[in-house]
């Protein structure tokens, strides 16, 4: 009950927050007047200066005289990767006191899943399905960043990812547009709060606009070719939610979309973002993505790149200098008007005013926010344990029993740097608490036997096998910490083969021969194809890259101090050849048929061509994923009963709602949290519709034997989709609805829209 009340309260506060956003945007009239005044006194060079984000490498420490001079002349709008507070304050003073415009700078940094306190990678946190928690982590990240003079983060990344080969799936919210939208909004709310000018809050940036996650073959930066209806019905959804929830900035993506690079894409940046969504923040390019339109083959030179990006509506250029070098000439040649330039500057100044940097350029009260404080570490611990997804638990081997002797093996058991994951520029491995240390603390040194077996995840040396096997033999149960080092996922770190790298599979096979049960704990930036490993282990937990508090969080889960409640935010493939694999796919005219499917080893020799049936499946991998979207076990079990549909025939208007309920019971002996998911299927449409779509979800906490009725109320307008004429409409016809614990099961009902 407590959780349900808390959730309801959260929803109420959330809607108040959304209305306060629109209020603050209305109250911006004042800001517009202030901007008029500022712009009036600016020279062309100074205006162009506001459009420049000067970047140094993520590792650089100093502040060059050249940069100071440019700021002194008013030629810089924002700075990226300046991480020493005294240097930030020094250059801000130059901007405010010495530059002719006195306009303060913004200071950007990739604070993606924590600043010093590192939370699980975004894909991991997505598995918590807990928006309050997500918001809390990003608020802490904002506070810590602000304390170090950062007022702008390049997060959240809201790119839908259907391809686990893509390294950036680690940073993504997963494959589902609804879950991704809610996650993005929660991150933005945590970073910006109700008002980004309040000390401790920072500006958010929804990235990478758009469809970056659809890169061909999962190869980073690659070309994207998708229909407009797919773009709008799936990939743009979380961006629209981000825009409407007040994300201060947007970042354009590296990829081309149907032939036009996103950083010069008028359709995305003008038509959709400004005209349809009425977005009034500013758009930043990605790192050099404006001049990268030259190798793309979309601009002949830097000048044409500047022209194309500026005409498309890209306000600020990250690191490359095409605006700085060419906008003045383009204006003189009347290819860009000064009015256009003023609009770009206005978008940027609007955000600077909203961020409060004119009144508070020097990060006042920053000393009030500390790094790695007790609340931050406790939140990181909860976030990491709520991100864990229990994928297998044969004979309830988990939770562990207190008197068991434990062998801790594997390259990720004591790898403080690796457990932090990708994009942790400011995180320190010295602050990490590893699983090995956590178990030594909770079980005592004498009951824990340790040998890594492999020095790192890619190791090809068997030198450590013998000692790993010897330690395993002393134990009652083996905890094998497997996975990927942090460097194997993230930007430009795609893999064509996503199984356990190095000799990890081989070591597991050797350990199995000891006859001891094996619990596999995966620390990785993406789903890992488990193939032959899965039958060799008795339990599997996906912990993703869990961050600073990986050790205590995983030990909480393994000891049963926390009951796993994570659910997969992505479909988990059996084999890489199944990719792209995602639950909300269309049906085809010949869907896979379990009753006729013949697996490759069962095909008779010289079988007649059509004797196997003609269905959409793989002969070798079949048609099912390893684990479906939304899947995750618990130490308890839940039953779903008594589906009730309010009105089964609904009118197609903005008032009607589909009301559905079910009774969920904890049928086991342990308290547990269940994420109850509501899916629908629109059976026939003017374009083909997905076989299921998530339309809502709710988390409930149940004591043993306790039941709760979960009630969903879905407005008919939420069933609308973009048809082939790009009209957003719900269509009359038959629908199915499921209340389910994952994307492949559930109580099924029918309803109709008239």
Site residues, ligand BGC (CB under 6 A): 110, 154, 207, 286-287, 491
- Please, what is the minimum distance in Å from the beta carbon of residue 283 to ligand BGC? 13
Select 110 or 693, whichever has its Cβ closest to ligand BGC: 110
CA dihedral sign, ordered 715, 718, 719, 721: positive
Residue carrying the six token digits 């083909």? 688
Query: What is the C-alpha separation between 184 and 166, in angstroms, rounded?
Result: 20
Query: What is the C-alpha separation between 561 and 555, in angstroms, rounded?
Result: 8
Select 155 or 344, whichever has its Cβ closest to ligand BGC: 155
Which residues have CB under 8 Å from 746's CB, separation 6+?
640, 677, 679, 738, 739, 740
Which residues have CB under 8 Å from 187's CB, separation 6+?
134, 135, 138, 155, 156, 204
Please name which of 506, 501, 481, 479 lies closest in space to residue 489, comparing C-alpha atoms: 501
Which of 286, 426, 682, 696 is flagged as catalytic?
A: 286
Select 139 or 207, whichever has its Cβ closest to ligand BGC: 207
Select 291 or 514, whichever has its Cβ closest to ligand BGC: 291
Select 154 or 712, whichever has its Cβ closest to ligand BGC: 154
Residue with nearest beta carbon to ligand BGC: 154
- Please, what is the minimum distance in Å from the beta carbon of residue 330 to ligand BGC? 25
Helix axis angle for 435-443 and 550-558, nearest 10°, is 50
Active site residue 286: yes
Supply 685's token pair.
């449409």
Secondary structure in 3-state letters for 296-311: HCCCCCHHHHHHHHHH
Other Cβ atoms closer than 10 A to 59: 8
Q: Strand, coil or helix: what is 150? A: coil
Q: Which of the 8 DSSP states describes residue 487?
A: G
- Please, what is the minimum distance in Å from the beta carbon of residue 159 to ligand BGC? 10
Phi first, then psi: what are they for 173, rounded to 5°? -85, 5
Element (H, E) at 344: helix 338-354
- Please, what is the minimum distance in Å from the beta carbon of residue 68 to ligand BGC? 22
Q: Which of the 8 DSSP states describes residue 519?
A: E
| DSSP states along 382-438 | HHHHHH-EEEEEGGG-PSPPTT--EEEESTTTT-TTGGG-S--TT--GGG---HHHH
Select 286 or 485, whichever has its Cβ closest to ligand BGC: 286
Select 154 or 722, whichever has its Cβ closest to ligand BGC: 154
- Please, what is the minimum distance in Å from the beta carbon of residue 146 to ligand BGC? 18
- Please, what is the minimum distance in Å from the beta carbon of residue 287 to ligand BGC? 4
Q: Which residues are catalytic?
A: 286
């Amino acid at each position: 009950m407590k959780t349900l009340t808390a959730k309801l309260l959260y929803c109420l506060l959330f809607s108040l927050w959304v209305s306060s956003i629109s209020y603050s945007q209305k109250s911006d009239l004042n800001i517009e007047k202030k901007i008029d005044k500022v712009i009036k006194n600016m020279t062309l060079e100074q205006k162009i200066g506001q459009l420049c984000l000067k970047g140094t490498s993520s590792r650089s420490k100093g502040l060059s005289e050249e940069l100071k001079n440019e700021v002194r002349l008013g030629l810089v709008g924002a700075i990226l990767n300046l991480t020493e507070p005294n240097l930030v304050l020094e250059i801000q003073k130059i901007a405010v006191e010495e530059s002719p415009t006195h306009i303060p700078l913004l200071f950007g940094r990739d604070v993606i899943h924590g600043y010093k306190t590192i939370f699980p990678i975004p894909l991991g946190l997505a598995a918590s399905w807990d928006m309050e928690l997500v918001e809390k982590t990003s608020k802490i990240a904002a506070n810590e960043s602000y304390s170090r003079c950062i007022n702008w983060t390049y997060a959240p990344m809201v790119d839908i990812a259907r391809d686990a080969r893509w390294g950036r799936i680690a940073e993504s919210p997963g494959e589902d547009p609804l879950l991704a939208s809610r996650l993005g909004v929660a991150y933005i709310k945590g970073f910006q709060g109700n008002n980004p000018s309040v000390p401790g809050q920072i500006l958010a940036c929804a990235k990478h606009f758009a469809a970056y996650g659809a890169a061909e073959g999962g190869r980073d930066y690659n070309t994207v070719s998708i229909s407009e209806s797919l773009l709008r019905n799936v990939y743009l959804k979380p961006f629209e939610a981000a825009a409407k929830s007040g994300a201060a900035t947007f970042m354009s993506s590296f990829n081309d979309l149907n032939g036009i690079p996103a950083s010069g894409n008028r359709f995305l940046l003008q038509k959709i973002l400004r005209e349809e969504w009425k977005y009034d923040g500013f758009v930043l390019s990605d790192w050099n993505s404006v001049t990268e339109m030259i190798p793309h083959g979309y601009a002949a030179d830097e000048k044409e790149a500047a022209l194309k990006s500026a005409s498309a509506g890209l306000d600020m250029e990250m690191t490359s200098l095409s605006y700085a070098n060419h906008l003045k000439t383009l204006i003189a040649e009347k290819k860009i008007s000064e009015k256009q330039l003023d609009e770009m500057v206005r978008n940027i100044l609007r955000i600077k005013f909203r961020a409060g940097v004119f009144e508070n350029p020097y990060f006042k009260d920053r000393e009030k926010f500390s790094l790695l404080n007790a609340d931050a570490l406790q939140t990181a611990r909860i976030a990491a344990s709520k991100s864990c997804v229990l994928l297998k638990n044969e004979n309830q081997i988990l939770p562990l029993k207190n008197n068991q002797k434990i062998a801790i093996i594997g390259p990720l058991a004591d790898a403080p740097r690796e457990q932090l994951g990708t994009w942790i520029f400011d995180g320190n491995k010295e602050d990490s608490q590893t699983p090995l240390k956590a178990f030594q603390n909770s079980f005592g040194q004498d009951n824990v036997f340790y040998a890594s077996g492999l020095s790192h995840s890619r190791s090809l040396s068997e030198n450590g096998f013998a000692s790993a096997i010897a330690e395993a033999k002393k134990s009652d149960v083996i905890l094998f910490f497997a996975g990927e080092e942090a460097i194997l996922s993230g930007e430009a770190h795609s893999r064509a083969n996503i199984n356990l790298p190095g000799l990890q599979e081989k070591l597991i096979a050797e350990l199995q021969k000891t006859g001891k049960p094996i619990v596999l704990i995966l620390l990785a930036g993406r789903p890992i194809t488990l193939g032959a490993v899965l039958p060799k282990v008795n339990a599997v937990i996906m912990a993703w890259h869990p961050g600073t508090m990986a050790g205590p969080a995983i030990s909480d889960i393994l000891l049963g101090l926390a009951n796993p409640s994570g659910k997969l935010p992505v479909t988990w493939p059996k084999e890489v050849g199944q990719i792209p694999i995602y639950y909300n796919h269309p049906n085809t005219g010949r869907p896979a048929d379990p009753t006729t499917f013949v697996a490759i080893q069962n095909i008779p020799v010289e079988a007649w061509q059509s004797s196997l049936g003609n269905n959409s499946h793989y002969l070798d991998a079949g048609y099912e994923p390893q684990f479906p979207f939304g899947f995750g076990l618990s130490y308890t079990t839940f039953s779903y009963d008594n589906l009730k549909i309010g009105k089964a025939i609904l009118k197609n208007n903005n008032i009607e709602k589909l009301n559905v309920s079910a009774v969920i019971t904890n049928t086991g002996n342990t308290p547990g949290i269940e994420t109850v998911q509501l899916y629908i299927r629109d059976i026939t449409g003017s374009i083909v519709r997905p076989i299921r779509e998530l339309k809502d979800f709710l988390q409930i906490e149940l004591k043993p034997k306790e039941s709760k009725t979960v009630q969903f109320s879905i407005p008919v307008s939420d069933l609308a989709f973009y048809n082939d004429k790009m009209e957003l409409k719900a269509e009359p016809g038959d629908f199915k609805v499921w209340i389910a614990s994952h994307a492949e099961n559930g109580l099924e009902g029918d309803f109709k829209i008239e």
